[in-house]
Amino acid sequence: MSTTSSIERGARRADPASPPPKRLTVPALRARKGADAEPLVMITAYTARMAQLLDPHCDVLLVGDSLAQVIYGLPSTVPVTLEMMAAHGAAVVRGSAHALVAIDMPFGSYEASPAQAFESAARLLKETGAAAVKLEGGEAMAPTVRFLTERGIPVIGHIGLTPQAVNLLGGYGARGRSEAEAAKIVADGVAIADAGAFMVVIEGVLEPIAIAVTDRIACPTIGIGASAQCDGQVLVGEDMLGLFDRTARFVKRYEDLAGRISAAVEAYAGEVRSRAFPNAEHLYQPRV
């Protein structure tokens, strides 16, 4: 009797006759630096099904704490918990097989001390199977980044506009408009990279700042509202797919899924109300 599973071919890990493809690794992604390297593709994912759809096209799936707004309708990322990140991180790992999966460390789970950060990061990696964590902050977080990487936890940094600090920043406007702040952002990027981050996200900064950081550090930079000269780009998947009407200036909408979903549900509702659905092909009849 064949042991080959009847599960759809897209779910290859469930098929014992088809070993899973090898995931991208931290060293492989860290090497993708410079103008001659293929730019890195990163998109956020929060569910297994979305991970299945995004995985073949991405190098990194980021389980972002942006799930606060996208999934839970919260006003900011501040209320996100470790439990929320772990649950969604595990779902994304189960739904993917190719991309490296990284998970945002939520506000309050790493800032107090390097030891707190290690405990939180270790929990996320153990409970999800993800390969890396991402944390926000610049020079002040460099000792924490070093502490984690020296203990075997790969770290992605995040500088510039840091959403977890929205209460301190006073909003989501672009950062680096003063010379002092621009210099600070560059210094933040250098400090985080020197501390061992294998990748640094640069969000919502004036383009010359993103270029300066990209030129100064040895690991890849990932832009989001930064510059095409970064070593890769990231967007919130639901934003670029057009599921939300209001998005940041740096978002390009590649599809209008909100409109298509609305039209599909309108058609379904109309058929239900007219009793056109379900019809014979959707129903079970007694066997003769």
For 41-88, the pLDDT digits (tens) are 999 999 999 999 999 999 999 999 999 999 999 999 999 999 999 999
Q: Which CATH superfamily hosts domain 12-257?
A: Phosphoenolpyruvate-binding domains (3.20.20.60)
pTM of the model: 0.90
For 180-210, the pLDDT digits (tens) are 999 999 999 999 999 999 999 999 999 999 9
> Annotated binding residue at 136?
yes
Q: Six-digit token pair at 109?
A: 């789970």
Closest residue by Cα to residue 153 from 134, 175, 179, 170: 134
> What are the residue boundaries of the structural domains of the chain, listed by start?
12-257
Closest residue by Cα to residue 117 from 106, 109, 129, 108: 109
Whether the pLDDT of residue 13 is over 80: the answer is: no
> Annotated binding residue at 281?
no
> Annotated binding residue at 119?
no
Catalytic residue list: 203
Residues 6 or more apart from 168 whose CB is under 8 A from it?
A: none
Whether the pLDDT of residue 7 is over 50: the answer is: no
